[in-house]
Amino acid sequence: MAEVTTSLGFNREAFDAFLQSRGEPSWLRDQRCEAWAKFEELPLPSQKDEEWSRTDIRLFRLDRFGFPADRPAGARLADGLLTHRVELGGQVTAWDSHPHSARLNEKWARRGVLFGSLDELAAEHGDLVRSHLFRAVDAHYDKFAALHAAAWSGGTLLYVPRGVVIDEPLHMLSVISPGAADLGHALVILEDGAEATLLAETASLSEQSPGLHCGAVELLLGPGARMRYVNLQNWATGVWHFAHQKALVDRGAALQWTIAALGSRLAKVNQHVALVGRGAGAQVNGVMFTEGKQHLSYHTLQHHEAPSCKSDLLYKSALQDVSRTVWRGMIKVDPAAQKTDGYQRNDNLMLSDHARSDSIPGLEILADDVRCTHGSTTGRVDDEQIFYARCRGLTRKEAVRMVVAGFFQQVFDRITIDSVREALGEAIGRRIREYD
């Protein structure tokens, strides 16, 4: 498959042409121009920066990517891995950072729900988008965040009005062609007492093709809102994946956020949850499976800003070949956040003697009436378990698959959507290879 043709790259001339083609309101153009100025000012991160000390991007060349020249044309995209045997309430797809398709069941549209292209809805509902866009994510955090803020496109907006409970999952899918860039932005707004389930996933048209994702996710939960958000990162193994993802959880609201990271050549993701209202709660689940020379780096922050909040994070990774994962987690408790209950744990299963896992949990506690704990484990596959299974007629590959499934089961048990558990288990199982 031929690589996609891009325009002039991420330079001023291409940015001006991009702005001209958008026809957006002045407030959004101003926001983009401010971010672009910051992008031009900031250097690319390097291993001299503490946050990037374990992630080497010297082989990354930003000038190899650019704004897609044309909207892709072709057949309907596949539904994705998370939608099998699921009755969806709506679906939004993007292709090479262009809106591709959008649908929402009429019964939800009649109740004021918005679910579709952020590009289009930003013009139609400007006041709503303007008051929430980049409210959570810092648009000037680093060069990648600034590039995204200046050049995002192909994004998705989900808005659920006060008290509306959506009892059907919604789905969004982003796809990259070989050599293309995706700069999608997911903006989710749940007003007071609203509830929704959103299944988000990424994919590439070719399993090993190059590409760039520079994206962001913002989850904004009002008081008493309930949100289940599942994010499957399944880019091709040639894709560079950079993202800033943050949730703001208000008083009495509850978020279950599940991340599954299987794809990309290199990933550097900041995933933050801020508990900003009394009694807010968040459960964060992470599943990572790496192979080949993949490098996945996920930095998580559970930020307790208000009292009587609870956060519970469990990340598990299994590594084969010469792959590497980096997990750096922090629970931060502000002085006002008394009665905090925070927990984080990271477990790593080594399927190869040559893989590497860096696990760095941390606590920063500025209040005196809290309960915060963290833990980390790393180990290899138990040879006795493999021997036991093989004595009962299983091949080594089948035995390893059983061990890996058991390792991830603790996370899968926390996922309340049957189809998601099955899809993630099958996707990981297909990646396990035979070992001597």
H helix runs in 339-395, sequence order: 383-390
| Model confidence at 433: pLDDT above 90 | no
| Model confidence at 265: pLDDT above 50 | yes
Identify the residue whose tokens are 């550097």: 268
Measured from the Cβ of residue 82, the count of other Cβ atoms closer than 10 Å reads 25
Instruction: Assess contact for 84 and 135: CB atoms under 8 A.
Output: no
In the chain, pLDDT over 70 holds for what percent of residues? 97
pLDDT at 322: 97
| Model confidence at 8: pLDDT above 60 | no
Instruction: Specify the 3-state DSSP secondary structure of 68.
Output: strand
| Model confidence at 6: pLDDT above 50 | no
Kind and range of the H or E element at 359? strand 356-365
pLDDT at 392: 84
pLDDT at 416: 87
Residue 138, both tokens: 């810092």
Going by C-alpha positions, the residue among 283, 89, 282, 91 that lies closest to residue 167 is 89
| 120-135 per-position pLDDT tens digit | 999 999 999 999 999 9
pTM: 0.95
| 314-352 per-position pLDDT tens digit | 999 999 999 999 999 999 999 999 999 999 999 999 999
pLDDT at 232: 97
pLDDT (average), residues 407-429 = 91
| 155-185 per-position pLDDT tens digit | 999 999 999 999 999 999 999 999 999 999 9
- CA of residue 191 relative to chain centroid, distance: 22
Rg (CA), the chain: 21
| Model confidence at 7: pLDDT above 80 | no
DSSP state string for 131-174: HHTTSSS-TTSSHHHHHHHHH--S-EEEEE-TT-B--S-EEEEE
pLDDT (average), residues 360-373 = 97
pLDDT at 233: 97
- The C-alpha atoms of residue 351 and residue 324 are separated, in whole angstroms, by 11
| 193-223 per-position pLDDT tens digit | 999 999 999 999 988 899 999 999 999 999 9
State the first-to-last Cα distance of the chain, in angstroms, to the nearest integer: 35
pLDDT at 5: 46
pLDDT at 72: 74
- Name the pLDDT band for 382 (thresholds 50, 70, 90): confident
| Model confidence at 436: pLDDT above 70 | no
DSSP state string for 176-239: E-TT-EE--EEEEEE-TT-EEEEEEEEEESSTT-EEEEEEEEEEEE-TT-EEEEEEEE---TEE
| 20-70 per-position pLDDT tens digit | 999 999 999 999 999 999 999 999 999 999 999 999 999 999 999 998 767
- The C-alpha atoms of residue 274 and residue 417 are separated, in whole angstroms, by 24
| Model confidence at 1: pLDDT above 50 | no
Instruction: Assess contact for 398 and 389: CB atoms under 8 A.
Output: yes
